[in-house]
Amino acid sequence: MTPSTPTVIPTEHRYDETLRVNALHALLYCPRLFYLEEVEELYTQDERVYAGRRLHAKLEQNYADNETIEAYTLESPKLGLRGKVDCLKTEKGQFIPYEHKRGRSLRKNGKATPWPSDRIQVLAYALLLEDCLQVEITEARIRYHAENVLVHVPVDEEGRKEVCQAIVQAYTLRQSTDRPPVIENEKLCATCALAPVCLPEESRLLERSEQKTRRFFPEDDSRQILHITSPEFKVGRSGHQVKITHVKGEQPDITVPINDIGQIVLHGFPQISTQTLAFCSEHDIGVHLISRGGKYIGSFQPGTSNVQRTIRQYKALTDSGFCTNLARKVVGCHAEHQRQVLMRYKRSGIKNADELQTITNQMAILIKSIPTVSELETLLGVEGNLAHLYFQALPLILSDTLDERMIPKGRNKRPPLDRFNALLSFGYSMLLKDVMNAIITVGLEPALGFYHQPRSQAAPLALDLMEIFRVLLVDIPVINSVNRHQWSPDEDFTIAGQQVWLNDDGRKKFIDLYEKRKKETWKHPVIGYSLSYSRLLELEVRLLEKEWTNEGGLFAQLRIR
């Protein structure tokens, strides 16, 4: 047989690295999905993905039992494609590639037809077979197992041109640093495994504010956060589990399956093996270090950020006007939270209501000035004045029955000089750790921030994002727990000269308080759905990224009542 001569990709679109045929399927389904997977290298696994794998595993077993049916792995530098065709049959001397799909076919006028993405996929396999086996393919077939329908796809010149056009489009997108926009067909998003990363409904919300946002963002992460609070323990790997062992063997070993772990937090430098670090990296588990004094040391970041995402972030955050706009958003959000907390106690009828009213009025004036600030230096001054007023007011909202040692005397942090500030400092270290974990999970570059200046250990972007959550995740739990007399001035703290730190018991108590707070759910005032504070951290980082992908408007819109 004489092979057909398919249309060849122009030379400028050829690359040494070939493209997966599945990537063309994603491209025809949604260019944004293609870009997220093939360029930004973002992948998620959901039940639909696993169900498809189970179907193909079953089919491959059937192929092994039937010599007339066989799967082929193919690669063509000429076409710039590679892939594994589900099976290849011969009928009357003709090769026929088959694709198996778990779902249903597209119906047109009552007739079963292939979905565009399925059609381009099986046609691409036909072209691969022609080039690799030097045969002519005239027909391909797709079986839709949900309805047991076999669809015939002719391999003609029109189909070949469509495949080559898709290849050109794919390679062009791979060279771009601009993420394609959300597609108009909302129904496709409902079955997309990357919807929790893409957040298409949040992007559409900006144009369709009257509609309820359909939630694709995942539910709360049920995995554990392992806090190792003593250097007497070491962390190692045992098979598919993380093993926590007492150095002196005085306590029984603890093993936790790797899939049940979200983070590992090492307090006071307990040992961790390199095998465990590699194990955590493979499973995208953050490992974070906090000193015995409660200072955030750093995070183990698996791999590197995707270069296209970093380029977009760098381009955006080298624009001073853009950075100032983002900084105004986070400063305004933080200040509104501070003032609202004070207002809550003013409404409760405390005896210092008049003094508190004066302070909140002054804060309101400063908050109103934030949108007009055009320089970061000026904004820093406004933020400093707001912080001064806030910490001046904090003693006014604390219980009259407290031990005076629990009353703060302003804000002091390096080191903390009183018990209240020791709680805040440790809490902010915990928060910084979680913000860093969210940044790494999303894939942004922590060193490229928009408000805080670079300094040792604390990444600027993490410090920027912390402003949104300080009051929500640290200040409110600390104020409430102090007012409830949950802290013992003598038993939960260590005094070293003028420095005050949480001791081992105090740290464990705070960790429990903080982790419980993160599990509480809260309804987003703009997006409209409820989620835990733990999930909210990741959502806010993803909304930040949308600010420089032409989908901004939802970042730092959190407000408490």
> Do residue 102 and residue 156 come from a single domain?
yes
> Do residue 271 and residue 350 come from a single domain?
no
Secondary structure string (H, E, C) spanning 80-133: CEEEEEEEEEEECCEEEEEEEECCCCEEECCEEECCHHHHHHHHHHHHHHHHHH
Answer yes or no: is pLDDT of 222 > 90. Answer: no
At 360, the amino acid letter reads T
Answer yes or no: is pLDDT of 8 > 60. Answer: no
1 band by pLDDT with thresholds 50, 70 and 90: very low
Q: Residue 524: how many CB atoms within 10 A of its CB?
A: 21
At 152, the amino acid letter reads H
279 band by pLDDT with thresholds 50, 70 and 90: very high
Q: Of 348 and 109, which is predicted with more confidence?
A: 109
E strand or H helix that includes residue 300: strand 296-300
At 247, the amino acid letter reads V
Q: Which phi and psi angles does 216 have, rounded to 5°?
A: -110, -15
Tell me the per-residue pLDDT of 359-383, one tens digit each, with 9 for 90 and over: 999 999 999 999 999 999 999 999 9
Check: CB of residue 510 under 8 Å from CB of residue 502. yes
Residue 202 lies in a domain: no
Residue 196 lies in a domain: no
Q: CATH number for the domain including 269? A: 3.100.10.20
Check: CB of residue 479 under 8 Å from CB of residue 341. yes
**68 φ/ψ sector (left φ>0, alpha ψ -120 to 50, else beta):** alpha
Answer yes or no: is pLDDT of 91 > 60. Answer: yes
Answer yes or no: is pLDDT of 67 > 50. Answer: no
87 band by pLDDT with thresholds 50, 70 and 90: confident
Q: Which of 22-26, 62-66, 80-84 has the lowest mean pLDDT?
A: 62-66
Q: How many domains are there within the chain? A: 3
Residue 483 lies in a domain: yes
Q: How many percent of the chain have pLDDT more than 70?
A: 89
Write out the residue range of the structural domain in which residue 38 sits: 11-172
Looking at residue 234, its pLDDT comes to: 94
Looking at residue 505, its pLDDT comes to: 92
- Segment 206-223 shows an average pLDDT of 75
- Segment 303-310 shows an average pLDDT of 76
Q: CATH number for the domain including 134? A: 3.90.320.10
Q: 523 exposed, middle or buried (CB, 10 Å; 0-12, 13-18, 19+)?
A: exposed
With CA atoms as reference, report the closest residue to 165 among 102, 116, 203, 213. Answer: 116
> Do residue 128 and residue 257 come from a single domain?
no
Tell me the per-residue pLDDT of 504-520, one tens digit each, with 9 for 90 and over: 999 999 999 999 999 99
432 band by pLDDT with thresholds 50, 70 and 90: very high
Instruction: State both tokens at 154.
Output: 């002719």
Looking at residue 6, its pLDDT comes to: 43
Looking at residue 52, its pLDDT comes to: 44
> Do residue 20 and residue 146 come from a single domain?
yes
> Do residue 79 and residue 163 come from a single domain?
yes
With CA atoms as reference, report the closest residue to 506 among 518, 498, 516, 514. Answer: 514
Q: Of 416 and 413, which is predicted with more confidence?
A: 416
- Point out the domain boundary residue: 300, 321, 341: 300
Residue 551 lies in a domain: no
Q: What is the mean pLDDT of the chain?
A: 87
Looking at residue 54, its pLDDT comes to: 47
Looking at residue 348, its pLDDT comes to: 67
Q: Of 65 and 143, which is predicted with more confidence?
A: 143
Residue 355 lies in a domain: yes
Check: CB of residue 504 under 8 Å from CB of residue 233. no
β partners of residue 237: 242
Instruction: State both tokens at 299.
Output: 């995070």
> Do residue 395 and residue 474 come from a single domain?
yes
Tell me the per-residue pLDDT of 327-339, one tens digit each, with 9 for 90 and over: 999 999 999 999 9
62 band by pLDDT with thresholds 50, 70 and 90: low
Tell me the per-residue pLDDT of 137-164, one tens digit each, with 9 for 90 and over: 999 999 999 899 999 999 999 999 999 9
- Segment 264-286 shows an average pLDDT of 92
- Segment 461-483 shows an average pLDDT of 96
> Do residue 23 and residue 62 come from a single domain?
yes
Residue 211 lies in a domain: no
Reported as half-sphere exposure (CB side, CA atoms, 13 A), residue 472 has a value of 26
Q: Of 292 and 33, which is predicted with more confidence?
A: 33
Answer yes or no: is pLDDT of 561 > 80. Answer: no
Answer yes or no: is pLDDT of 358 > 70. Answer: yes
Residue 192 lies in a domain: no
Omega before 415 cis (within 30°)? yes
At 328, the amino acid letter reads R
> Do residue 374 and residue 491 come from a single domain?
yes
- Segment 33-51 shows an average pLDDT of 71
Looking at residue 260, its pLDDT comes to: 93
> Do residue 285 and residue 318 come from a single domain?
no
DSSP-H helix ranges across 176-304: 186-190, 195-198, 200-205, 274-282
- Point out the domain boundary residue: 300, 317, 342: 300
- Point out the domain boundary residue: 281, 300, 319: 300
Looking at residue 455, its pLDDT comes to: 66
Residue 41 lies in a domain: yes
- Segment 104-129 shows an average pLDDT of 93
Looking at residue 44, its pLDDT comes to: 63
Answer yes or no: is pLDDT of 491 > 50. Answer: yes
Looking at residue 177, its pLDDT comes to: 87
Q: Distance between CA 494 and CA 293 in Å, rounded?
A: 10
> Do residue 434 and residue 534 come from a single domain?
yes
> Do residue 38 and residue 96 come from a single domain?
yes
pTM for the model: 0.85
Looking at residue 46, its pLDDT comes to: 44
Compute the radius of gyration of the chain from its Cα atoms: 29
Q: How many percent of the chain have pLDDT more than 90?
A: 61
> Do residue 82 and residue 123 come from a single domain?
yes
